[in-house]
A and B are shown apart, each in its own frame.
Chain A
Amino acid sequence: MPDLLLELFSEEIPARMQGKAADDLRRMVTDKLVAEGLVYEGAKAFATPRRLALTVHGIPARQPDLKTERRGPKVGAPDAAVQGFLKATGLKSLDEAKIQRDPKGDFYIGLIEKPGRDAIDVLAEILPVIVRTFPWPKSMRWGARSGKPGSLNWVRPLHAITATFGLETEEPDVVKFEVDGIESGQTTYGHRFLAPAAISVRRFEDYEAKLLDAKVVLDPERRKDAILTDAKQLAFAQGFELVEDQNLLDEVAGLVEWPVVLMGSFEPEFLATPAEVIRATIRNNQKCFVVSDAKTGKLANKFILVANIEATDGGKTIIAGNERVIRARLSDAKFFYETDLKTKLEDRLPKFEQIVFHEKLGTQAARIKRIERLAAEIAPLVGADVARATRAAHLAKADLLTEVVGEFPEVQGLMGKYYALAQGEDPSVAAACEEHYKPQGPADRVPTDPVSVAVALADKIDTLVGFWAIDEKPTGSKDPYALRRAALGVIRLIAENALRLSLMKVAASALAGLWVKPADAQKLPSDLLTFFADRLKVQLREQGARHDLVDAVFALGGQDDLLMIVRRVEALGKFLDTDDGKNLLAGTKRASNILSIEEKKDKRSFDGTPDAALYSLHEEKALAKAIGEVKTEASVAVAKEDFAAAMSAMAKLRPPVDAFFDKVRVNDDDTKVRENRLKLLNEIRSATRAVADFSKIQD
């Protein structure tokens, strides 16, 4: 079956858009083909800075014929209806129609045959529509045609379209179409500088090979492989190691059609500037890689650049030019760093009084004061020295006003640490300047130093309470202040450091420090707690754990000690994995079901202690006794926070519960006995509540 080759040749496509554009092109073309009844065998799309290319192979040469039946009027219907039917079906006379009988009478049926069209004609119709409606994140008009309405929009000027269709064994046909003056054909162009001449292509195989001859590596994965391999080798040969950087690699591969990897160097004096600053400078501004010393692991005074040409001088000029720019950039960075060192972090703080954090939440200065107060309050709860935690909170944001962070926002925090160390701060205070931002996401490291933990918690809880107070909560996919991340950060800080603190109390205290006083201030801490419960569920779900157990534990009420919640959920999960757990859950649910039916019937509840005198059967007595024992044992265990022991106690309930349901009829004819048995069932429910609300657990 024939194959399609499509190439859209344009001026330089932004690197960050290439990957998605290739995917979109493949998806749009293949979706359309399938919708047109043309089921293909395979498709692959590629992007370089100057072209999007697509190959679809195994497309049927023709669409299948379509046969449809159309029901017409009743036999003997008025002439107007018959004429309408003939016109709609294209039949010459009623003789060509069939007659079909059904309970309502005899009807004319017209058979319409729609012959399939040649795939190449279908393609000629769909491809221009795809070009016209292509979903670029940003597109533009250009040239003389842009003076008229309806001109084509593309990411950058589009120059040529190659579109061929045919069998491997034959000369393919051009899929003929035109978009805004650009006619499809089979001519493309090679590398902008190394082989700019026109190339005539037939199908994907020779297209890819001819491009390679014309110094264009079509497949971005191949370009990435080549860059990575060459970069590693070049570094290795000189005793260095490439500092790998996937995002940079992706970007650089989108900036070249013919990657040529070269190495340059800079003056070793620059290495006195922190390595992260050098890396950020070289990476962000110059899109070059850095290398480290293979032995010491320290940053070396070398960089790796990826050029787009094989220069006639072997790259000497290119290296010299890049070195020049990097030298200038590094001397700026060094200057920024040295300038920063001249000002103490605390001397920067007054400036925060002019900087608004959020118009409803006041200035950065006010926020820093709140974090200081909260960190001091949290410090004793997490084993941190109060004075150090306060000092760390005082200085932690100051680096935002430094030159280096102004230039490279991604080194915020880290620079704070360097500057704090340089001015002789306590090491844990310095560490907190960096670590209070952590964890930034589910994969990020959780700080363990108590000072860092205190400030990290204070920072995040202040943020959460603040935005809750002004009703800027995350909705759906919108979370502009990254509040979900902050809440998850709090959960991880507490769980991974095994911290004991009452979130309600801390939140209430954070709230008291705000200048805004929300109308429903009373409800806020518990609202926030629900948000934490949701984040915990999401986190457990992502870890593949049972998130419904979170609800079962939260439903107990008064639970605001995250560590205990997590522990309880873990123990409950383990218990429910055992037979005892499963059966007890089933028994409890059965008891709950019966109770809720009978409660409805009688319009009353069956609270209260059952009357031992009314027990007549052995199973009743045994259950009552077991409940009594289990309750005591479980609550002792819970008080000791030994949830595994509480679960083992629960397990003892299983045999008497099973036996009870086996032998005892709850709805006894004697109303007193019935009431007493229902009360006993209620006791099962309340006994299990020592560990969780079993009714909230999904089966």
Chain B
Amino acid sequence: MDASLPAHMRPERSFQGFILALQRFWAEQGCVILQPYDMEMGAGTFHPATTLRALGPKPWNAAYVQPSRRPKDGRYGENPNRLQHYYQFQVIMKPSPPNLQELYLKSLAAIGIDSAVHDIRFVEDDWESPTLGAWGLGWECWCDGMEVSQFTYFQQVAGFECAPVAGELTYGLERLAMYVQGVDRVYDLNFNGREGDAKVTYGDVFLQAEQEYSRHNFEHADTAMLFEQFKMAEAACRKYLDAGWREGGNRKQHLMALPAYDQCIKASHVFNLLDARGVISVTERQSYILRVRELAKACGEAWIHTEAGGAA
């Protein structure tokens, strides 16, 4: 931890200081620090900087905060841990550096988790995303019995082998910050590190949003519109993918992978909302997941035919 920081910026005092400390640490490891992607998504992995950039031969090191929306996890602001909107901090390094575990442990030190007093463990947890057609091997990282991060070596994304393999780290920011700040309720997190009248808590920022969105997600989200949006996003994704192949038909170079992928992200989030509204049956659920995966695969294929995806 940086001792020169003013008190209100220290990771154990302030949620924003905590995020800044992580960003700074990974910036120093050579990562580009991106800003959140401007679309609704269920996890930081959906960000094209991870999903798409994990494919192809080109090196890529990035870190960013991604607001993650899990409509089903909303609890009207009444549960001390569960949120339908929360922050993930995502690091992706391709190829995975040989010392990625050490870097991860140093990043914990940077946010105030000292391995001399904390019991940090790498516990088997294989990661799979059915909607992204992706899987990898790795661990959930435990700190004193609490899962604080996900550590994955991507093996396949969008149905394509990762060559080389990227290492992905995902930190659950609220949970980690709660631990470091020693609070039991997420809404009690000190957001800005100030005290007294100047103090802003996580609850000040997000409690009302949790209540409103829980109402929306579970009770009022317009399902007719959402069903329609799913179809539209799916169709648009296909349309952009078809239109993106250069010089019609020979499928050597693609010019519109990113806009097409946006529609895949959109379809995925709309599906999550419909799922939260309870209007998708068990059997239909599987087929929706499959439809999103088909989009993700097609986008992955387009991506590896773009310049950043490594096409010659």
Contact = CB atoms under 8 A, between A and B. Distances in A.
Interface of A: 11-12, 14-16, 49, 138-148, 155-157, 159, 193, 255-256, 286, 288, 305, 307-309, 311-313, 316-318, 320-322, 324-326, 328, 354
A147 B57 contact: yes
A227 to B, nearest CB: 14
Contacts of B155: 140-141
Contacts of B118: 311, 317-318, 321
Contacts of A313: 117
A147 B117 contact: no
A159 B117 contact: no
Contacts of B98: 143, 157, 159
B123 to A, nearest CB: 7
Given A156-B153, A255-B123, 6 more contacts: A140-B153, A142-B153, A143-B96, A147-B164, A156-B138, A316-B117
Contact of A145 (B97, B101, B120, B164): B164
Interface stretch (B5-13, B24-32, B66-74, B141-149): B141-149
A325 B178 CA distance: 12
Given A156-B137, A311-B116, A321-B143, A147 B163 contact: yes
Give the interface centre of B117, B138, B163 by most chain A CB atoms within 10 Å: B117
B92 to A, nearest CB: 14
Interface of B: 57, 80-81, 95-98, 101, 115-124, 126, 136-139, 143-146, 153, 155, 162-165, 167, 179, 184, 281-282
B165 A140 contact: yes
A12 B104 CA distance: 14
B165 A307 contact: no
Contact of A146 (B97, B162, B184): B162
A307 B96 contact: no
A324 to B, nearest CB: 7
B184 A324 contact: yes
A325 B146 contact: yes
A261 to B, nearest CB: 12
Contacts of B95: 142-144, 146-147
Contacts of B167: 142
Contacts of A146: 95-96, 162-165
A324 B163 contact: no
B41 to A, nearest CB: 26
The residue among B57, B118, B126 with the most chain A CB atoms within 10 A of its own CB is B118
A12 B97 contact: no
Given A143-B98, A159-B98, A288-B145, A311 B124 contact: no
B163 to A, nearest CB: 5
A15 B123 CA distance: 8
A308 B119 contact: yes
A229 to B, nearest CB: 20
8 contacts: A138-B126, A146-B96, A147-B164, A288-B145, A316-B117, A317-B118, A324-B179, A354-B282
B126 A311 contact: no
B187 to A, nearest CB: 15
Contact of A144 (B153, B164, B179): B164
Contact of A11 (B97, B119, B122, B126): B122
Contacts of A12: 121-124, 139
A322 B142 CA distance: 10
Contacts of B116: 193, 309, 311-312
Nearest to B126: A138
Given A255-B121, A318-B119, A318-B144, A157 B126 contact: no
Contacts of B163: 141, 146-148
Sorted from nearest, which 6 A-B pairs have the closest CB atoms? A321-B144, A14-B124, A147-B164, A12-B122, A322-B145, A146-B165
A140 B136 contact: yes
B140 to A, nearest CB: 11
A324 B146 contact: yes
Nearest to A313: B117
B153 A326 contact: no
A288 B80 CA distance: 23
Nearest to B125: A14
Contacts of A256: 121
Contacts of B145: 286, 288, 305, 321-322, 325-326
A328 B144 CA distance: 14
Given A147-B163, A309-B115, A317-B117, A11 B144 contact: no
